[in-house]
Amino acid sequence: MNAKHTPGPTMNAGELLMNSPADQVKRCQMVINAIANGEWDDAAHYARNAADEGQGPEYRPWASGMRDLARFCEARAAIAKARGEA
């Protein structure tokens, strides 16, 4: 990833997580693990926190992608709850 942490326009969730800023690697690992375990509320929480902790304008594109991922995880959590899976 370049020094400005700017994901490309077609970066998927996996690429977004794998290209996290150095200070957000652990939190992104937590997002990946939560998604893998179907813990959508936790994944949303971790993704939102990672986005909020990024400081400076160079983080904005990455943080925006993480907020989108958090919204996706929230939607998945709502679906799981509606199905009685959570």
* Domain ranges across the chain: 13-82
For the entire predicted model, the pTM comes to: 0.82
Q: How many degrees, rounded to 5, is the angle at CA 20 between CA 58 and CA 2?
A: 55
Task: Classify residue 49 as exposed, middle or buried by CB count within 10 Å of its CB (0-12, 13-18, 19+).
Answer: middle
The region, left, alpha or beta by phi > 0 then psi within -120 to 50, assigned to residue 37 is alpha
12-24 tens-digit pLDDT: 888 888 888 888 8
31-71 tens-digit pLDDT: 999 999 999 999 999 999 999 987 778 788 889 999 999 99
- What gap in Å lies between CA 68 and CA 70, rounded to an integer? 5
DSSP-derived secondary structure for 1-65:
--TT----TT--HHHHHHT--GGGHHHHHHHHHHHHTT-HHHHHHHHHHHHHH--SGGGHHHHHH
Q: Which tokens hold the place of 36?
A: 């893998």
